[in-house]
């Protein structure tokens, strides 16, 4: 009986020793496994960087700056798109050139947009012109920066469709276009206060203003 007890104790100790050895081997192998997994993990692909381009060497840029360089403040190139920042007083002259020059032929004014950057204290307003050539199949963007008390010349004499776009920029952002044939609101009533696409305009309009305007101008307001 004593011998059997001693054998059982011995087998138990051997079993415990084997389990401890196995645990130790597993703990040692874990860091190696983690290191191997990290090493084998595929590297994240970095976003392709925009290739460095000499903007002035682009044919359109060279053409415009060669003819109207004194009216161009800056030229930007990003993802195949050219943007000219034009002096406020030169926008009409630059647009006339871009439409009439045989190498440019921007005969289609896609849109005119007004933008408000309230944190840009000196010139918080911006007018953006998108042009397209139906013959050359190329595009260009123009920008004019404005102070709050400045206005920019209308490009209506170059593209007749500008009258609608400029009215919307006036209505929504408050940009004024000199010599526009009919500068007035196009989406909101003529006596509406403020310009809703300005960043500081309340999301739902000035408190109570909409309701007051409806009561003053609309019949059967009790049904609204």
Which tokens sit at 33? 């496994």
| pLDDT at residue 72, rounded to an integer | 98
Per-residue pLDDT at 22: 59
Q: What's the CA gap between 110 and 179, in Å, rounded?
A: 21
Residue 165 lies in a domain: yes
pLDDT at 43: 65
The CATH number for 144's domain is: 3.30.460.80
Evaluate whether residue 166 is within a structural domain. Answer: yes
Could you state, in chain order, the average pLDDT of each consecutive group of 10 residues for the chain (224 residues)?
A: 54 65 58 58 66 88 96 95 97 98 97 96 96 97 97 98 97 97 93 90 78 75 52
Show the domain range for 192. 55-206
Is the residue at 19 inside a domain? Answer: no
Element (H, E) at 67: helix 59-68
**Would 79 be classed as within a structural domain?**
yes
Residue 88 lies in a domain: yes
The pLDDT score that the predictor gives to residue 36 is 58
Is 118 a member of any domain?
yes
pLDDT, position 101: 97
**What is the pLDDT at residue 37?**
60
What is the count of structural domains for the chain?
1
Is 136 part of any domain? Answer: yes
pLDDT at position 15 is: 65
End-to-end CA distance of the chain: 101
**In-domain check, residue 159:** yes
Q: Using alpha carbons, list the distances in angstroms from residue 90 to 20, 120, 145, 211.
A: 85, 22, 12, 43
């Amino acid at each position: 009986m004593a011998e059997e007890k001693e054998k059982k104790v011995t087998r138990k100790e051997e079993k415990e020793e084997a389990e401890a050895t196995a645990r130790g081997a597993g703990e040692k192998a874990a860091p190696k496994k983690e290191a191997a997994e990290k090493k084998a993990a595929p590297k994240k692909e970095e976003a392709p960087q925009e290739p460095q381009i000499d903007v002035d060497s682009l044919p359109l840029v060279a053409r415009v700056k060669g003819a109207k360089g004194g009216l161009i403040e800056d030229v930007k190139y990003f993802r195949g798109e050219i943007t000219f920042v034009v002096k406020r007083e030169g926008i009409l002259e630059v647009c006339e050139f871009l439409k009439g020059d045989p190498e440019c032929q921007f005969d289609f004014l896609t849109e005119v947009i007004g933008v408000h950057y309230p944190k840009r204290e000196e010139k918080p307003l911006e007018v953006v012109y998108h042009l397209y050539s139906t013959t050359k199949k190329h595009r260009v963007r123009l920008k004019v920066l404005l102070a709050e008390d400045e206005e920019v010349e209308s490009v209506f004499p170059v593209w007749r469709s500008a009258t609608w776009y400029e009215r919307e920029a006036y209505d929504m952002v408050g940009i004024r276009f000199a010599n526009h044939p009919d500068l007035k609101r196009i989406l909101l009533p003529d006596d509406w206060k403020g310009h809703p696409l300005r960043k500081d305009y309340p999301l739902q309009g000035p408190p109570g203003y909409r309701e007051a305007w409806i009561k003053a101008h609309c019949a059967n307001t009790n049904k609204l």
